[in-house]
Amino acid sequence: MIYVVGRLRKIMFVLEYKLKGKAKQYQAIDESIRTVQFVRNKCLRYWEDGQNIGQKDLYRYVTQLRKEFEFVKALNSTACQQACERTWTSILKFYANCKNKIQGKKGYPKYSKSTRSFELKQSGWKLDRDAKKIAFTDGKNIGEFKLIGSRDLYYFQDFQINRVRVVKRADGYFCQFLLKLDVRDIVPQLKPTQKCVGIDVGLKYFYSDSNGSTIVTPNYYRKSEKRLKKLNRRKSKKFKKGNLQSNNYIKAKKQYSKRHLKVSRQREEFAKEKALRLIQSNDLVAYEDLKVKNLVRNSKLAKSINDAAWSQFRKWIEYFGVKYSRLTIAVSPQYTSVDCFNCGKRIKKSLSVRTHVCECGYCEDRDINAALNILKKATTGHVGSWSEQLDRNAWGESTSTLIGVIQ
Ligand SMILES: [Zn+2]
């Protein structure tokens, strides 16, 4: 039986609309994005050149920049702040990696060359809910846009908007509202299903579960990949040395990034749908705590792994887990594919061996045996150590704050 004793309760929610306006307005957005990039890179340089520069110093520096440059001053102050905070986050991440002595690259903060967005906090924008319009009110003269999207704007209040982000993509300009909502206000909670499931993500199947079913990996990517490669080749052929590129190159580049976007959206949709279904039909979902980054280093497997979109899948499982108050547990992937689910004996097998056969008489598909082991790991012997695990952030980057007790 499962008791959920923790309380969760704020959830971040993103709503996205396409921005419809005039060419001049889009240029003004580009200009704002360039300014954000300018601020970010200036902050980074300031940190590199200085000694013991802290976050407060960076804030002060931004204030100075606003005095010094008219075009920085024209940008909404919270957007400047945001650029500064981003820089600081990447610096902190770098410090943390050094401190934890992680192997390989430490993620030294980079100068940004292709910033695609800017973010506003509580000021610099104004929503007109009836007309479904948003106006940007800082000195960059961006003006008012029509918001294209299905979701009604009355769905949320201004105070629930944590951030407004304007993003430039290959197929247009978008406005995202980052909402901070209380789960209980928005989500009808699901009834307990009294079912648990363990899932094993793999190369042959998108995942196999402990009930013995498998979900096939979607092939869009590989199908689209051919086309993608062709577009990429065309793009490279038209590339010229030097800075000035022909219209044909720009066109080819645009086609390529559009296709790329399409493929990644398809992948994300697939992962999202499967994750939602898992969460809706189970009280507990157990999966492996895979470090996809490490796996991807093996380049031969990399394509399939990226393709299968595991990390997106996990992100969505954890997201829906929080949203619907279901338990999601990441277990260590050690031995899950070699141990016999029936008797526990360790049976080594290479990747090509698809069936688990044990001397105890147990015989099962290799991935389903693994899924069963994953569920077993998640539901036994963890009770005392859970809060500790939470401290160590064993939940990965999940926003999940559930604490569970299993008997
Ligand atoms: Zn056995």
Each residue's pLDDT tens digit, 218-227: 777 677 777 8
pLDDT in the model for residue 298: 56
Distance 285 CA to ligand 1 centre (A): 24
How crowded is the C-beta side of 5, counted as CA atoms within 13 Å? 9
pLDDT value for 87: 94
Q: How confident is the prediction for the chain on average, in pLDDT?
A: 82
Q: Separation of 359 CA from ligand 1 center, angstroms?
A: 6
Under a CB-based contact definition with an 8 Å cutoff, are residues 191 and 281 in contact? Answer: no
Centroid of ligand 1 to alpha carbon of 377 (angstroms): 16
Measured in Å, residue 355 CA sits from the centre of ligand 1 at 13
Provide DSSP, 246-276.
-HHHHHHHHHHHHHHHHHHHHHHHHHHHHHH
* Mean pLDDT across 27-33: 96
Helix, strand, or coil here: 347?
coil
Sole residue written with tokens 């013995």: 212
* Percent of the chain residues topping a pLDDT of 90: 42
* Distance from residue 187's CA to the centre of ligand 1 (Å): 43
Q: Is the pLDDT of residue 241 over 50?
A: yes
Residue 294: is its pLDDT beyond 70? no
For residue 346, report the distance from its CA to the centre of ligand 1, in Å. Answer: 8
**Ligand 1: distance of its center to the CA of 364 in Å?**
10
The average pLDDT across 66-84 equals 95
Q: Would you place residue 333 in the very low, low, confident or very high pLDDT band (cuts 50, 70, 90)? A: confident
- CA 360 to centroid of ligand 1, rounded, Å: 4
* Burial class of residue 270 (count of CB atoms within 10 Å of its CB; 0-12, 13-18, 19+): buried
What is the 342 CA–ligand 1 centroid distance (Å)?
Answer: 5
Residue 400 CA, ligand 1 centroid: distance in Å: 35
Paired with 216 in beta bridges are 205
What does pTM read for this prediction? 0.59
Which of 117-126, 180-189, 195-204, 328-337 comes out lowest in average pLDDT? 180-189
* 324 neighbors 280 (Cβ within 8 angstroms): yes
What protein residues have CB closer than 5 angstroms to ion ligand 1? 340, 342-343, 345, 358, 360, 362
Q: From ligand 1's centre to the CA of 208, what distance in Å?
A: 20
pLDDT of residue 72: 95
CA–CA distance, 98 with 95 (Å, rounded to integer): 5
- For residue 287, the CA-to-ligand 1 centroid distance in Å is 22
Give the pLDDT band of residue 279 (cuts 50, 70, 90): very high
Please give the single-letter amino acid code of residue 144. E
CA of 198 to the centre of ligand 1 (A): 19
Q: Which helix (H) or strand (E) holds 17?
A: strand 10-20
**Average pLDDT of 170-199?**
82
**Is the confidence at residue 395, as pLDDT, over 80?**
no
- Taking the centre of ligand 1 as the mean of its atom positions, its distance from the CA of residue 292, in whole angstroms, is 29
CA atoms within 13 A on the CB side of 43: 33
How many CA atoms are closer than 13 Å to the CA of 189, on its beta-carbon side?
12
For ligand 1, the distance from its centroid to the CA atom of residue 215, given in whole angstroms, is: 25
**157 to 129, 131, 154, 368: CA distances (angstroms):** 10, 16, 7, 46
Identify the residue with better confidence: 304 or 47.
47
357 CA from centroid of ligand 1 (Å):
8
Q: Which has more confidence, 307 or 287?
A: 287
Q: How far is the CA of 375 from the centre of ligand 1 (A)?
A: 17
Average pLDDT over residues 207-213: 92
In Å, how far are 8, 181, 406 from 4, measured between CA atoms? Answer: 10, 20, 9
The predicted pLDDT at position 391 comes to: 31
**How close is the Cα of 341 to the center of ligand 1, in Å?**
7
Q: What is the pLDDT at residue 286?
A: 93
